[in-house]
Structure 1
Amino acid sequence: MQRIDSHQHFWIYDKVKDAWITDDMKIIQRSLLPKDLHPVLQENGINGCVAVQASQSEEETNFLLQLSKENDFIKGVVGWVDLKSETVENRLIHFSKEKKLKGFRHILQGEDVEAYLSNKQFLNGISLLDKYGFTYDILVYHHQLKLVDNFVKSFPYQRFVIDHLAKPDIKNHAIGDWEKEIKQIAKNENVSCKISGMVTEADWQNWKEKDFSPYIDIVVENFGIDRLLFGSDWPVCLLGITYQKWISVLEKYFAGFSSTEKEKFFSGNAEKFYGL
């Protein structure tokens, strides 16, 4: 069975640019590149991956695109472009020539999300993405998710994906408000969801596999198997889990699903969503 990791990152570590990598994250406080990931993918039977931006610049986009040209296993790139720019359409035309550039993302979780999602220039940028075949990854925390529903409703033909289940508070086993909002978002058929990044929202050192199941249950029930994507969030996941162990958690969860359903989750949905 083909397997595609829909969400991972690369960076050349810089203490200023990567200030979010704090001293309690020593394991990832270093440069992490394709040479570090490729053997891990091979060991775990992963055929390819999608590299996702981790900083807000076109330099980041070009960096990931160059890595994708040098490494065939990088099947797609989710980059960054200034969607608020007056010249955004020219930049989208420029980037549309890059075959491996599949979409864009902004680290919304660090913004005033309400203001950002109502910004006219940003909304104009979003309105142009589908014209050039680009997707959009939505990165927010669980408490910001309620602001996303009206936003995605405004663009019914745009392909959106929620990163990391919108980061529910797994550490404190809180589900209620997140479940309410995720159910509402899932009603929008143009929105998919990545099952990724869960361990870093749990207790890094003391999580148990059963901590994840209630959250996965909810996204499976509401998004359905056709709109869920497997992702590792490597190397950030290393803060609390090995790549192999994360694969094992998901293999156990989906063990009772049909081979067709498993193929969709582990590869087919990512291939379809990103046009890999």
Structure 2
Amino acid sequence: MSDTRRLVDAHHHVWDLDHRPQPWLDEPGHEPIRRSFGTADLCSTATRSIGGRRLGSTVVVQCVTSVAETRELLALAEQDPLIEAVVGWVDLTSLAIADVLDELRAGPGGRYLRAVRHLVQGESDPAWLQRPSVEWGLRNVGERGLAYDVLIRDHQFDQAVRLAERLPDLPLVLDHAGKPPIASGELKLWEEALRRLAAHPQVYCKVSGLVTEADHRTWTTDDIRPVWDVLLSAFGADRLMFGSDWPVCVLAGGWNQWAATVEDLLGDCSAAETDAILAGTATGFYHLNSLAPTAL
């Protein structure tokens, strides 16, 4: 069991615009986060507790399609005790993916590489995850004891379900609950698709990124609760993990407001369920407080 005082943020980002540009920040509406963010900023921002727990460890997640950025995140994890795992990026279609993964794991901070992610939400191919080259790449990921973060939009669930069917031994975690259309309130199709994905026991889910799918200025806990209820019913607490999606969440209230919302949502959960969502699930999935996973 995890430490009952532990709070893990299973999904946040850092970036230094003086060192590595983030072109996506040039999109309209991103002005409030169009600056550099580091872990010191996170620590000074994340001051609210959840159920008496204060932030103790995190999982940092890639932002751009760059192996160089992944190297930087691994080196940062080696230096910063707050970061216990890195979700990096590699070209899943590359014939050299095995060599790249092995080089990353052997380099500075390599033991913190616990998963990889690709920005599937930006791919127009409705079967991108079924491309033979991608599947082969993901098999290489799984063979090294690594997991895969699934970043899709709500209309892309079919390919995530097929991935879970094709690679039942690859641990998967759905980022941001598949981005449900909270602002419109039209959740029926999202719920049906999410439940199909959740039927696969190797699939987990991050309770993260929800506030930016709601109205950024007017959302309340009541807007989030229908999604929360579906997630808890479909996955159970043992496959859900808290994440902030900081600093992106700054666009819709910030870390502390999201933490307060999660505390409200946890009100009807047992102590064991709360511990799983706030710490236990992420600790097990990402092998926190342990050496890097060995190859299978």
**Shorter-normalised TM-score: what interval?**
over 0.9
Note if 1:18 corresponds to 2:9.
no
User: What is the alpha-carbon distance in structure 2 between the residues aligned to residue 23 and residue 168 of structure 1?
Assistant: 21
Q: Given the alignment, which residue of 169, 181, 191 partners 2:193?
A: 181
Given that 1:17 and 1:55 are in contact with CA atoms closer than 8 Å, whether structure 2 keeps it comes out as: no
1:147-193 Cα shifts (integer Å, max 9, x gaps): 21111111111100000010011000111110110010000000000
> Which residue in the other structure is 1:75 paired with?
84
User: Structure 1 vs Structure 2: percent identity of aligned residues?
Assistant: 33
> Which residue in the other structure is 2:137 paired with?
125
Is the alpha carbon distance of 1:113 and 1:231 closer, same or farther for their aligned partners in structure 2, counting shifts above 3 Å? farther
Note if 1:195 corresponds to 2:194.
no
> What secondary structure, in the 3-state scheme, does the structure 2 residue paired with 1:20 have?
helix
User: What is the alpha-carbon distance in structure 2 between the residues aligned to residue 118 and residue 221 of structure 1?
Assistant: 28
> Which residue in the other structure is 2:8 paired with?
4
Given that 2:175 and 2:206 are in contact with CA atoms closer than 8 Å, whether structure 1 keeps it comes out as: yes
Structure 1: runs of 5 or more not aligned: none
Is the alpha carbon distance of 1:173 and 1:252 closer, same or farther for their aligned partners in structure 2, counting shifts above 3 Å? same
Listed as ranges, the matches of 1:66-215 within 5 Å are: 66-97=75-106, 98-215=110-227
> Aligned-pair distance for 1:43?
5.0
User: What is the alpha-carbon distance in structure 2 between the residues aligned to residue 39 and residue 267 of structure 1?
Assistant: 21
Letter in 2 for 1:221: S
> Which residue in the other structure is 1:228 paired with?
240
User: What is the alpha-carbon distance in structure 2 between the residues aligned to residue 269 and residue 126 of structure 1?
Assistant: 22
Note if 1:239 corresponds to 2:251.
yes
User: What is the alpha-carbon distance in structure 1 between the residues aligned to residue 75 and residue 47 of structure 2?
Assistant: 21
User: What is the alpha-carbon distance in structure 1 between the residues aligned to residue 196 and residue 184 of structure 2?
Assistant: 22
Q: Given the alignment, which residue of 46, 65, 78 partners 2:74?
A: 65
> What secondary structure, in the 3-state scheme, does the structure 2 residue paired with 1:10 have?
coil
In the superposition, the TM-score normalised over structure 1's length comes to 0.96
Structure 1, 25-34 or 266-275: larger mean CA deviation: 25-34
> Aligned-pair distance for 1:229?
0.7
> Aligned-pair distance for 1:261?
1.2
Note if 1:33 corresponds to 2:33.
no
Aligned residues: CA RMSD: 1.5
1:211-270 Cα shifts (integer Å, max 9, x gaps): 000111001101111100100000000001121111111111112211111111001100
Structure 2: runs of 5 or more not aligned: 289-296
Q: Given the alignment, which residue of 228, 234, 259 partners 1:216?
A: 228
Given that 2:46 and 2:256 are in contact with CA atoms closer than 8 Å, whether structure 1 keeps it comes out as: no
In the superposition, the TM-score normalised over structure 2's length comes to 0.90
Given that 2:48 and 2:259 are in contact with CA atoms closer than 8 Å, whether structure 1 keeps it comes out as: no
> Which residue in the other structure is 2:293 paired with?
none
Given that 2:93 and 2:137 are in contact with CA atoms closer than 8 Å, whether structure 1 keeps it comes out as: yes
> Aligned-pair distance for 1:23?
3.9
Note if 1:46 corresponds to 2:46.
no
Given that 2:48 and 2:260 are in contact with CA atoms closer than 8 Å, whether structure 1 keeps it comes out as: no
Given that 1:50 and 1:75 are in contact with CA atoms closer than 8 Å, whether structure 2 keeps it comes out as: yes
Given that 2:33 and 2:250 are in contact with CA atoms closer than 8 Å, whether structure 1 keeps it comes out as: yes
